[in-house]
């Protein structure tokens, strides 16, 4: 079977590898010269040194089973590429949550009881709410938001745990984030398997973490990717499809692994009847994510990642010490989930926030990257488009209908699922 995969982000890489593994002849098309989509390498200069940054700081967790399996399958040394730590959401003053090394769910309960800076009212309210989620099988009504799920939770526990977890996992504020999707993430991360909640922090750039290895693996199988090749049109032809990029070629199946707007352009131009799919893809709202890279020779954190108290004037929710993750000493990455505002304003706000909250007054901005369509807005009751579009035409990506929010694991699972539906 000849299969065209359009887009070499994490979903497209997963789809191309899986299709090749199942015996298909795969052609992988990618507009950019760098694979990875919204989780890719960006070249920069820090203190006169050329360096690979990322278009957004990402983390993985131990529950990302399919992503970790795929990385191993294409030859990534997972232990070398990722720093594994117990789930830690601590603030600069040392307050917050750090899970001990215990079997699930004892680690979560012990971590809550031993959380620093929390009152007993905070701890008991969180335990009560978490036990309630368990008793209900981590299910809720489709219209419920994360804020709705947390009624009865103390303001301290909400600000110290739920809000950071929600914006990091769903990139959507709790008051308008899907409770259903949040509960799925909480179940898999905190209550399913030992180590599922572990933080996996990349020690290499995001393209090197999976996409580069996937492309090299495909090339060894005789399917070199076509980077810098934008697909102009797709069109049904008999029982197959014609894909036109630099030239036209015939395929038996097509997998659209590009962003929803690009996928909608290709579907509409193909002439197939897919009104419902197009409507759902175009109705998706998006959230921005901003990463502010800043450097000072003396800058450094007590641990690789810290949560930060965030508000409209101090927008960053997290900061990462890239010097502890394989980068140059003194390089920090500040992450603003669901960001609002222009690059220059956000940069100045983050530098002021670093001075106030971390005591770092000599930070110099390196690069600020705003991904305006970093994720879809994961709102209650959201109808996401399915993977099936038309005979022989499927889509994959973190926006496709599924239990996960816009995460790397969601993208990988979507790519695998699309290929398994090809025959």
Q: Please check whether residue 51 lies inside any domain of the structure.
A: no
Q: Do residues 319 and 303 lie in contact, with contact meaning Cβ atoms separated by under 8 Å?
A: no
124 lies in a domain? yes
Residuewise pLDDT in 10s, the chain (423 residues): 999 999 999 999 999 999 999 999 999 999 999 999 999 999 988 877 888 999 998 899 999 999 999 999 999 999 999 999 999 999 999 999 999 988 888 888 899 999 999 999 999 999 999 999 989 999 999 999 999 999 989 999 999 999 999 999 999 999 999 999 999 998 988 887 788 889 999 999 999 999 999 999 999 999 999 999 999 999 999 999 999 999 999 999 999 999 999 999 999 999 999 999 999 999 999 999 999 999 999 899 999 999 999 999 999 999 999 999 999 999 999 999 999 999 999 999 999 999 999 999 999 999 999 999 999 999 999 999 999 999 999 999 999 999 999 999 999 999 999 999 998
What does the alpha-carbon distance between residue 270 and residue 367 come to, in Å, rounded to a whole number?
Answer: 39
Same structural domain for residues 248 and 274?
yes
Q: Among the three residues 138, 162, 197, which one is the final residue of a domain in this structure?
A: 197
Domain boundary at 197, 232, 250, which? Answer: 197
Same domain membership, residue 266 and residue 154: no
Using an 8 Å Cβ cutoff, are 97 and 162 in contact? no
Domain membership of residue 226 (yes or no) is: yes
- The pLDDT value given to residue 105: 83
CATH number at residue 291: 3.90.660.20
Expressed as residue numbers, the domain containing 246 is 2-41+205-284+380-420
The confidence score (pLDDT) of residue 99 equals 92
Residues 278 and 384 in one domain: yes
- Give the per-residue pLDDT at 318: 97
Residues 314 and 330 in one domain: yes
- Same domain, yes or no: 256 and 307: no
Q: Of 141, 174, 197, which marks where a domain is finished?
A: 197
Whether 94 is in a domain gets the answer yes
Domain membership flag for residue 259: yes
Strand-pairing partners, residue 294, are 332, 365
Looking at the structure, do residues 94 and 182 belong to the same domain, yes or no? Answer: yes
The 3-state DSSP class for residue 329 equals coil
Residues 179 and 237 in one domain: no
Overall number of domains in the chain: 3
Give residue 188's pLDDT. Answer: 86
Residues 388 and 252 in one domain: yes
Q: Is the residue at 60 inside a domain?
A: no
The pLDDT of residue 192 is 78
Q: What is the torsional sign of CA 381, 387, 393, 397? A: positive
Q: Are residues 128 and 139 in the same domain?
A: yes
Buried b (16+ CB within 10 A) or exposed e, 27-61: bbbbbeebbbbbbbbbebebeeeebbbbbbbbbbb
The CATH number of the domain where 14 resides is what?
3.50.50.60
Do 92 and 184 have their domain in common?
yes
pTM of this prediction? 0.94
Q: Is residue 94 domain-shared with residue 150, that is, in the same domain? A: yes
Residue 169 lies in a domain: yes
User: Are 291 and 279 in a shared domain?
Assistant: no
Cα 266 from Cα 256, distance rounded (Å): 9
Residues 6+ positions from 23 with CB-CB distance below 8 Å: 1
273 within domain boundaries:
yes
Alpha helical stretches, state H, 271-406: 275-283, 343-358
Q: What pLDDT score was predicted for residue 106?
A: 87
């Amino acid at each position: 079977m000849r299969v065209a995969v359009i887009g070499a982000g994490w979903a497209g890489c997963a789809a191309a590898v899986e299709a090749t593994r199942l015996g298909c002849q795969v052609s992988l098309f990618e507009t950019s010269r760098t694979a990875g989509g919204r989780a890719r390498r960006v070249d920069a200069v820090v203190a006169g040194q050329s360096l690979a940054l990322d278009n957004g700081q990402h983390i993985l967790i131990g529950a990302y089973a399919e992503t970790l399996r795929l990385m191993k399958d294409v030859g990534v040394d997972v232990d070398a590429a990722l720093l594994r730590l117990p789930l830690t959401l601590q603030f600069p003053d040392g307050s917050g949550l750090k899970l001990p090394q215990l079997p699930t769910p004892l680690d979560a309960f012990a971590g809550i009881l031993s959380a620093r800076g929390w009152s007993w009212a905070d701890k008991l309210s969180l335990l009560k709410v978490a036990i309630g989620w368990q008793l209900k099988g981590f299910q809720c009504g489709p219209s419920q938001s994360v804020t709705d799920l947390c009624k009865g939770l103390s303001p301290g526990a909400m600000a110290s745990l739920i809000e950071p977890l929600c914006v990091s996992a769903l990139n959507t504020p709790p008051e308008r984030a899907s409770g259903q999707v949040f509960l799925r993430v909480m179940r898999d991360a905190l209550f399913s398997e030992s180590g599922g909640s572990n933080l996996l922090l990349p020690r290499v750039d995001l393209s090197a973490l999976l996409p580069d290895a996937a492309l090299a693996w495909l090339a060894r199988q005789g399917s070199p990717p076509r980077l810098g090749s934008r697909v102009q049109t797709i069109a049904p032809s008999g029982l197959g499809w014609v894909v036109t990029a630099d030239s036209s070629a015939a395929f038996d199946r097509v997998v659209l692994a590009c962003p929803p707007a690009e996928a909608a352009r290709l579907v509409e131009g193909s002439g197939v009847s897919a009104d419902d799919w197009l409507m759902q893809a175009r109705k998706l709202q998006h959230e921005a994510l901003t990463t502010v890279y800043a450097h000072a020779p003396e800058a450094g954190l007590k641990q690789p990642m810290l949560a930060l108290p965030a508000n409209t004037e101090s927008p960053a929710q997290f900061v990462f010490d890239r010097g502890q993750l394989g980068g140059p000493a003194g390089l920090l990455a500040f992450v603003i989930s669901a960001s609002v505002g222009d690059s220059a304003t956000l940069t100045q706000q983050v530098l002021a926030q670093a001075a106030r909250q971390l005591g770092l007054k000599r930070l110099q901005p390196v690069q600020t990257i705003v991904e305006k369509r970093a994720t879809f807005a994961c709102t209650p009751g959201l109808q996401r488009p399915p993977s099936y579009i038309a005979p022989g035409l499927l889509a994959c990506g973190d926006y496709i209908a599924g239990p996960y929010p816009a995460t790397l694991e969601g993208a990988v699972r979507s790519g695998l699922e699309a290929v398994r539906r090809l025959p």
